[in-house]
Amino acid sequence: MSCCSGGYCQFKFPEGPPLVDNPVANMNATYQFLPYGTLLEEGEVVRIWMESGKAKTVIIEEKVPLTFTSDGPVSDNGNEVFPWQLVALDSGIAYDELMGWINHPLYNPGEKSVLLKYRHPIEVKPSLKMTLLKWLYKLRNL
């Protein structure tokens, strides 16, 4: 996969869980707007990725189908309220573009837009004691 037409920044993702269709703006993204839907389901382990080639494994906590009105996106069940500014920031899309997606030139009324909410697994950072023990173990085995 190449992130540029010059071909000088080529990278490949390692094998692992499936990748989400579109990139995110940061690796700590909680929400992602997918304008053309996805086949991924709730509870599935997937990888979010950035255009720089970084990827991170997350779990899809919620998959919300969206309907667009003149006021902006609304969840199909109608009772959920989402922080649309954060959704736009995490998805790497302008807030005004997200709220006016129904008027966007790439809007396709035949495709159901979805909002994915991610749960990040807890990453245990090694303590100072664990780092020291690891270093001492390496010294012992020299």
pLDDT value, residue 2: 45
Nearest residue to 64 via CA among 81, 48, 50, 86? 81
Tell me the torsion sign for CA atoms 72, 73, 78, 79: negative
pLDDT value, residue 5: 57
Instruction: Write down how long the chain is.
Output: 142
pLDDT value, residue 8: 54
CA distance 27 to 47: 10
Has residue 5 been placed in a domain? no
Q: Residues 44, 116: contact at Cβ < 8 Å? A: no
- Which pair of structure tokens corresponds to residue 33? 């707007």
CA distance 36 to 39: 10
- Model's pTM, two decimal places? 0.77
Has residue 19 been placed in a domain? no
Has residue 26 been placed in a domain? no
Has residue 44 been placed in a domain? yes
pLDDT tens digits for 16-72? 888 898 899 999 999 999 999 888 999 999 999 988 888 899 999 999 999 888 777
- Domain of residue 59: give its range: 31-140
- Which pair of structure tokens corresponds to residue 73? 């996106």
**Is 1 a residue whose pLDDT tops 70?**
no
Has residue 113 been placed in a domain? yes
**Higher confidence at residue 67 or residue 6?**
67
Has residue 40 been placed in a domain? yes
Tally of structural domains, the chain: 1
Has residue 15 been placed in a domain? no
When the pLDDT of each residue in the chain is averaged and rounded to a whole number, the result is 86
